[in-house]
Chains A and B, each alone.
Chain A
C-alpha cells in the first residue's frame, strides 16, 4: 500500500519551511546582497540631486521611488544589458521562442490540424514553457562510444556562435551589441563556424544517422555560403561600407530590395539552406535519417541546439531586414511620450508622482524597434511558410542549385549594383 506522506507531522513540516527560510535569508544576506553590491561597483551610477549615486546608496530607491528611473537608465547603459537583454541574447531568445510557438501553431492550421492545444487553457499558449521544463528535467543520455568532450561542447558552441551572430545585428539607431567597422565580414566569419560545429557534433556522436546528417549539413552549408556572401555584396557596393549600422542608415529613403531584388531572392534561398529548413532540410530529414545530426542529442542538449537554431533563424531574418528592407526605418507611428507626465507628474489621488528622467527611451528608438520587429517577424513568417507547402528536394538538385544558378544570379545582382553606380543613379553624386 502506498501512502503519499506516511509519516506526516505538522511540526516537521513547519521545521522544513523554517529551515528553508533560514537558509534563504542567510545565503541572500551573505552572498546575494554583496554580489549585487560588487556588480554595482562596475555600473556607472547616475547623478541624482547633484549627488553621485554610490553603490552604498543604491538601495535607497526602495524608499524613494523617484530614483528608480535614473537607476534603470544607468543599468540600460551598461554593456551587460546590451549583451544579455535588449539588442542581444534576451531579445533574440524572446523572438525565437515566439517563432517556435507560431511555427507549430501555424503549420498545424495550414495542414488542418489543431497543433498545441491543452497546455495553458487557451490554444496551448503555455506549450513552449511545458516543453522547456520537460527538456530541462529529462536525463541527458550520451552514447556509450561517443567522443564525450566534443559531444558536450557542440550544443554550447552552437548557441554561443548563434549568440555571436545576434550580437552583430543593429536593432535601432545606436542599439547594437558589437558595432564593428567590418560587421558584414564578421557575420561571414561567424557563419563559417556553424558547419564545423555541426560536423564535429555529428562525428562525436559515433552513430550512423548523425554522421550522414552532418556530412549533408557540411555539403549544404559550405556550398551555400558562397552565394550567400556574393548576394550581400551588391548592397555593400551601393553603400560603400561594411558596417551594418551604416548600411541601415543608408536606406533612410528607400530599401535596397527595390534596386536589388535578385540579391534579396538569392539571399533568401541561401538563408533557407543555411538554416536547414524545408525544402532544404536534408541534414535533418526526419523521414530518412531519424533527425539527422541531432539524433543522439537528448534532454537540455537538444534544447540548446534548438535554441541555437532559432537564434540563428532570427539573426538571418534580421540580417535580411538590415541588408534589404531598411532595418529600423519606417514612418513614425509610435505615439509621442505625453509631455504632461514629464512636466506635471502622474496625479494619484491626493499625491502626485514626480518621475524625473522620463522618457526612458526616445520616440525614435521605440519606433525603430517597432519597425525592425515588424519587418523581422514578416521575414520569419516567410521563412516558416515553405515548411507547410514544399516537399524536400534531392541533394544533387540542392547542390546544382547552389553552385550553378544561385552563384550566377548573385553575380548578376552585383553587376546590377555596379551598373546603377556607373549610370549615376545611385552612389556619390547620383540622381537619388
Chain B
C-alpha cells in the first residue's frame, strides 16, 4: 500500500516538475508547479510528519504558487518570453540533469542510508517547537530578524512615491 502510494507520489512529483518546465502555457505550467510541492507534501505524510506536510501545502501551494500565478497573470507573455526552440540545448539540459541526479543519488546511496533501520515513532511537532525555543534559539531569532528585515524591505520598495500623503487611505 505504502509502496503504491510512494510510486504514485513520485510519478506526480516528477511528472508535474517536467510538465512545469515543458508546458508552453504559462498558466498550466504554474498549475503543474503546484503538483510538485503537493507531491512532496504527500511524501511527508508517508513519512508520518503531517505537521510538515500541512505547512508544505499551506506555504508552497497556498502562497508561493499563488504568487507565481499572480505574476504570470499580470505580465504579457510575449514581452518577456522569446520562443527559443533549440534542440541541442534541450538535450544538453536533460543530460546535465541526468548526470547531476545520478551523482547525487550515488552520493546518497553511498552514505549508508540504506543500512538505517529504525522503528522509532515519528517526531512530535511539539518537540520541534521545544527544540527551537531552547537549543536552537539563536537560529530562530536569526530567522525572525531576516524575515522581519525582508518584510520591511518589501514594504519600503512597495511604497509609492508619486502620491502625496493626503491621498493615501486614512
Best-surrounded residue of A180, A181, A191 (most CB of chain B within 10 A): A181
Quick one: closest A residue to B67, CB to CB?
Answer: A222
Interchain CA distance A189-B37 in the complex, whole Å = 13
Residues on the A chain within 8 Å of B141, using CB: none
Cβ of B17 within 8 Å of any chain A Cβ, yes or no, is: no
Contact with B along A202-222 (1 / 0, CB 8 A): 010000000100010010001
Q: Which of A147, A185, A200 contacts B55 (CB 8 A)?
A: A185
Judge whether A394 and B58 touch: CB under 8 Å: no
Judge whether B66 and A222 touch: CB under 8 Å: yes
Interchain CA distance A182-B55 in the complex, whole Å = 10
Judge whether B62 and A189 touch: CB under 8 Å: yes
Judge whether B73 and A189 touch: CB under 8 Å: no
Judge whether B27 and A203 touch: CB under 8 Å: yes
Which residues of A179-203 are within 8 A (CB) of B?
Answer: 180-182, 185-186, 188-189, 191-193, 195-196, 199-200, 203
Contact with A along B122-133 (1 / 0, CB 8 A): 000100000000
Residues on the A chain within 8 Å of B51, using CB: 181-182, 185
Best-surrounded residue of B54, B74, B169 (most CB of chain A within 10 A): B54
Residues on the A chain within 8 Å of B58, using CB: 185, 188-189, 192
Judge whether A400 and B62 touch: CB under 8 Å: no
Cβ of B69 within 8 Å of any chain A Cβ, yes or no, is: yes
Interchain CA distance A191-B169 in the complex, whole Å = 28
Cβ of B63 within 8 Å of any chain A Cβ, yes or no, is: yes
> Once A and B bind, how many residue pairs between them come within 8 Å at the CB atom?
68
Given A185-B54, A200-B27, A394-B169, A215 contacting B73 (CB threshold 8 A): yes
Best-surrounded residue of B62, B63, B170 (most CB of chain A within 10 A): B62
Judge whether B54 and A189 touch: CB under 8 Å: yes
Interchain CA distance A184-B168 in the complex, whole Å = 36
A75 to chain B, nearest CB (A): 26
Interchain CA distance A150-B62 in the complex, whole Å = 18
Cβ of B136 within 8 Å of any chain A Cβ, yes or no, is: no
Judge whether B62 and A196 touch: CB under 8 Å: yes
Q: Which of A181, A188, A193, A199 contacts B50 (CB 8 A)?
A: A181
Cβ of B40 within 8 Å of any chain A Cβ, yes or no, is: no
Quick one: closest B residue to A183, CB to CB?
Answer: B54
Judge whether A222 and B54 touch: CB under 8 Å: no
Residues on the A chain within 8 Å of B61, using CB: 189, 192-193, 196
Cβ of B9 within 8 Å of any chain A Cβ, yes or no, is: no
Judge whether A396 and B50 touch: CB under 8 Å: no
Judge whether A218 and B169 touch: CB under 8 Å: no
Residues on the B chain within 8 Å of A191, using CB: 62
Contact with A along B24-55 (1 / 0, CB 8 A): 00010001001000000000000000110011
Cβ of A3 within 8 Å of any chain B Cβ, yes or no, is: no
Interchain CA distance A193-B34 in the complex, whole Å = 11
Residues on the B chain within 8 Å of A182, using CB: 50-51, 54, 125
Residues on the A chain within 8 Å of B34, using CB: 196
Interchain CA distance A193-B54 in the complex, whole Å = 12
Cβ of A397 within 8 Å of any chain B Cβ, yes or no, is: yes
Interchain CA distance A211-B72 in the complex, whole Å = 13
Which residues of A80-115 are within 8 A (CB) of B?
Answer: none
Which residues of A378-415 are within 8 A (CB) of B?
Answer: 394, 396-397, 400
Interchain CA distance A24-B20 in the complex, whole Å = 49
Interchain CA distance A400-B168 in the complex, whole Å = 10
Cβ of B70 within 8 Å of any chain A Cβ, yes or no, is: yes
Judge whether A200 and B31 touch: CB under 8 Å: yes
Q: Which of A199, A222, A400 contacts B170 (CB 8 A)?
A: A400
Residues on the B chain within 8 Å of A180, using CB: 50
Quick one: closest B residue to A196, CB to CB?
Answer: B66
Which residues of A209-237 are within 8 A (CB) of B?
Answer: 211, 215, 218, 222, 225
Contact with B along A152-194 (1 / 0, CB 8 A): 0000000000000000000000000000111001101101110
Residues on the B chain within 8 Å of A186, using CB: 50, 54
Judge whether B169 and A196 touch: CB under 8 Å: no
Other A-B pairs, 19, CB within 8 Å; known A192-B57, A211-B73? A147-B27, A185-B54, A185-B58, A186-B50, A188-B58, A188-B62, A192-B61, A192-B63, A193-B61, A195-B62, A196-B34, A200-B27, A200-B31, A200-B69, A203-B27, A215-B74, A394-B169, A396-B169, A400-B170
Interface residues of A (CB under 8 A from B): 147, 150, 180-182, 185-186, 188-189, 191-193, 195-196, 199-200, 203, 211, 215, 218, 222, 225, 242, 394, 396-397, 400
Closest 8 CB pairs of A and B: A192-B62, A189-B57, A185-B54, A189-B58, A396-B169, A189-B54, A188-B58, A397-B169
Q: Offer 12 A-B interface pairs, CB within 8 angstroms, sorted by A.
A: A181-B50, A181-B51, A186-B54, A189-B55, A192-B57, A192-B66, A193-B62, A196-B62, A196-B69, A199-B69, A200-B27, A397-B170
